[in-house]
Amino acid sequence: GFDVVCAGSGTRVSVAADESIVDALGRTGISVPTSCREGVCGTCETKVLSGEPDHRDFVLDDDEKAIAGTMMLCVSRCRSAELVLDL
Ligand code: FES
């Protein structure tokens, strides 16, 4: 698991291995707009401020994934201990 921190509110939530970031945030009352929930539509794209995303979507191309500027919260995960999001 890893932690997600919402930069705006400072809210921290730990994401279990069997849940998505969207679901983990939902438990704390933070709702992220979603549509496909399968990493194909781009609706849940969110800016990453720090941390190392583990991209599992089909929206970003390899160059975009290398920059790690944004990520899809419905399917992507995290390789570092913590991910700080622009939420
Ligand atoms: Fe479609 Fe995340 S909801 S890419």
- The per-residue DSSP string of 33-48 comes to P-SSSSSSS-TTEEEE
Ligand 1 centroid–CA 11 distance in Å is 22
Taking the centre of ligand 1 as the mean of its atom positions, its distance from the CA of residue 66, in whole angstroms, is: 19
Instruction: Tell me the C-alpha distance between 20 and 57, whole Å.
Output: 12
Q: Whose CA is nearest to atom 4 of ligand 1?
A: 39
pLDDT-flagged residues of the chain (< 50): none
Give the three-class secondary structure for 15: strand
When the pLDDT of each residue in the chain is averaged and rounded to a whole number, the result is: 96
Report the pLDDT value the prediction gives residue 68, as an integer from 0 to 100: 74
The model's pTM: 0.95
Q: What is the pLDDT of residue 35?
A: 98
Pocket test for ligand 1, best of 20, 21, 31, 40 (most atoms within 8 A of CB): 40
| pLDDT at 38 (0 to 100) | 98
pLDDT given at position 67: 86
Establish whether this prediction's ipTM goes over 0.85.
yes
Give the pLDDT confidence score for residue 83 in this predicted structure.
97
